[in-house]
């Protein structure tokens, strides 16, 4: 299992409160007791709790591409990741790990949003592409790996593997109606 969580400022790239992000991340400790880490930059905070299964030695997250311009947090398993590696190597991508997580990063670079069409498996992930100024959230077609989100009135997008990570932020006024409103507004932007 693993747990992901994050904060994204959709409007102003305000500074992310590291204490709040860590609190959100720790609310999912049971999903990933092996490791916990965060990544913060202007307007963005990612948190990850790891249950180490694939590539135990080098599969830490958040993970970046070679130049650090693409950052990913991921929960799940891409069953066909070993089949995708030779194709990505042929396109010039360099792998530092043996993890399916790094395949997601390079698949994004190669195929953009269509990368998810290439994945067989169960997954939920958040990817920040600094060069494109794009935050991409995705989950598997059946929703085996959950991904909850809400948009606050100030334009802050919260997301996580569990609703309690969103509640740990402290910015939700109530649980009734906000998620529905957020889904509608967020879907309109896609």
Active site residues: 2
- For the chain, the first-to-last Cα distance in angstroms comes to 28
């Amino acid at each position: 299992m693993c747990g992901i969580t994050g904060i994204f400022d959709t409007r102003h790239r305000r500074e992310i409160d590291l204490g709040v992000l860590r609190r959100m991340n720790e609310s999912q400790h049971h999903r990933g007791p092996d490791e916990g880490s965060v990544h913060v930059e202007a307007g963005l905070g990612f948190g990850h709790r790891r249950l180490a299964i694939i590539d135990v030695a080098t599969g830490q997250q958040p993970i970046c591409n070679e130049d650090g311009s693409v950052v990913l947090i991921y929960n799940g398993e891409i069953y066909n990741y070993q089949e995708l590696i030779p194709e990505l190597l042929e396109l010039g991508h360099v792998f530092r790990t043996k993890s399916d997580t790094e395949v997601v990063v390079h698949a994004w670079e190669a195929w953009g949003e269509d990368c998810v069409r290439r994945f067989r498996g169960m997954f939920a992930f958040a990817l920040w592409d600094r060069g494109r100024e794009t935050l991409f959230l995705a989950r598997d077609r059946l929703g085996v790996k959950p991904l909850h989100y809400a948009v606050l009135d100030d334009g802050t997008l919260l997301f996580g593997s569990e609703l309690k990570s969103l509640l740990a932020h402290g910015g939700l006024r109530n649980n009734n109606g906000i998620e529905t409103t957020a889904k509608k507004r967020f879907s309109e932007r896609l």
